[in-house]
Amino acid sequence: MRVTRVGVIAAAAVFLGGVTSPALATPPLLAKAKEKGYPAQNCQYCHVSKIPKKDAFTPDDLNDRGKFLLAEKDKQKAKAVDVDALKAYPGGKEQK
């Protein structure tokens, strides 16, 4: 059986896609939440820690709102968290 270059690249992409950690919170997400009228003042709007470490992300660092957003991201099979999902957050309706 002959292994093609395309096959090796495709296999590597699938493997690495499952190993890399997802991009989650970023300062632009916080800014977008503020822009949309959500009372996000700092990272603790979705995280437990004051300043989450990008390289050491664990789901344990998310509060209920952050876990909801992560679940919505996974449910939609999206590459990034969508701030608009906050509209459906059931943990207390927030004023916009």
- Per-residue pLDDT tens for 20-50? 344 456 788 999 999 999 999 999 999 998 8
Question: Taking the chain, what is the end-to-end CA distance rounded to the nearest angstrom?
Answer: 60
For the chain, the domains span: 23-88
Half-sphere exposure of 13 (CA within 13 A, CB side): 6
Residue 4: beta bridge partners? Answer: none
**DSSP letters spanning 9-29:** HHHHHHHHHHHSPPP---HHH
pLDDT at position 7: 47
Q: pTM for the complete prediction?
A: 0.68
Q: How many percent of the chain have pLDDT more than 90?
A: 50
